[in-house]
Amino acid sequence: MLRRRAVARENYSYTSGLLPESPASQLTIGQVKLWTVQAPEVAAHLARGYNYGASWARVPPSWVGAYEVMTAEMTARGVDCQGAPPVWAWSGWASPKQALYTADLLLGFDQWAHGVVMLRLAVPDDQILCTSYHAWNDFLNPESQLATMDFRGVLLSKDDCLQATIPQIKARWVRRARPMPIPRDTRRQILRNPYFRHLLIPSKSAPH
C-alpha cells in the first residue's frame, strides 16, 4: 500500500518547460508501459506535440538534495535529465480506479481542485530508472538519516511498489490522456476546509 508522502509537487506542475515534438508513434519493442498524473495544461501541451520537463521550482527545498542524487544516478546510467529534476511515473497502465486510489494518496487539495489528468505512456526502456518507492520515502525522511539511496530496484516489503523516474514526458510517448474526477471524500474535505474551499467555489463577483 502506498504511503501519503512520497512524490514531490514538481511531478504535477501548473507550468511546464516544453519543446516541439512529432506526432505519437505506435508501441514498439523496447518500450515500457508507465502512467503518471499531471495538470490539465500539461496534458494539453503534450496533445499539441510538445514535450514536458519538470521544474526545480516545484521541488520542496528539503528534498532538493535527494532529487539531485536521483538525477545524478540517472545521468550515470545514461538517462539525461538536461538539468531538470525527474518526472515520476508508475509501472503498467493502471485502471482508472487504481489510478484514482494512488493519486488520492499523493496529491494535495489544491492540485485536485485545479484538475488532474492521468497519462498512459509508452517509454523507451533506456529512459527509465525503477527504484523502490519505500526506499525513496526512507531516503527523503530526515529522521531515517540514510546516507545513500537504494537504487537496486528491489521491493522492500509486500506493500512496496516500484516507481519509475524518467527525464521528461515526450509527446510521442503519450498513448492516452484521461481527466480524473475528484474523489468524493477529498471533495468533501476541500469544501469543509476554510483554506481550500474557495478553490472549488469561485468567489462572488463584486456588484457593478
Q: Is 4 within a domain?
A: no
How many domains does the chain contain in total?
A: 1
Q: Is 85 within a domain?
A: yes
Which of 94, 79, 203, 48 lies closest to 151 in space, CA to CA?
79
pLDDT for the residue 92: 92
Residue 119 neighbours by CB distance under 10 Å: 22
Q: Are 131 and 149 in contact (CB under 8 A)?
A: yes
The letter for the amino acid at 54 is A
pLDDT for the residue 202: 62
C-alpha cell of 27? 508501441
Q: Is 175 within a domain?
A: yes
Q: Is 206 within a domain?
A: no
Structure confidence by residue, pLDDT tens digits, 111-124: 999 899 999 999 99
Q: Is 1 within a domain?
A: no
pLDDT for the residue 144: 78
On the question of pLDDT at 79 being above 70, the answer is yes
Distance between CA atoms of residues 20 and 89, nearest Å: 22
φ and ψ at residue 41, rounded to 5 degrees: -70, -30
Estimate the crossing angle of helix 64-76 against helix 133-140, to 10 degrees: 130
Which of 98, 27, 70 lies closest to 166 in space, CA to CA?
70
Q: Is 3 within a domain?
A: no
The letter for the amino acid at 100 is L
Structure confidence by residue, pLDDT tens digits, 27-60: 555 899 999 999 999 999 999 999 999 999 999 9
pLDDT for the residue 14: 42
Structure confidence by residue, pLDDT tens digits, 117-160: 999 999 999 999 999 999 999 999 878 777 899 999 999 999 89
Range of the domain at 87: 9-197
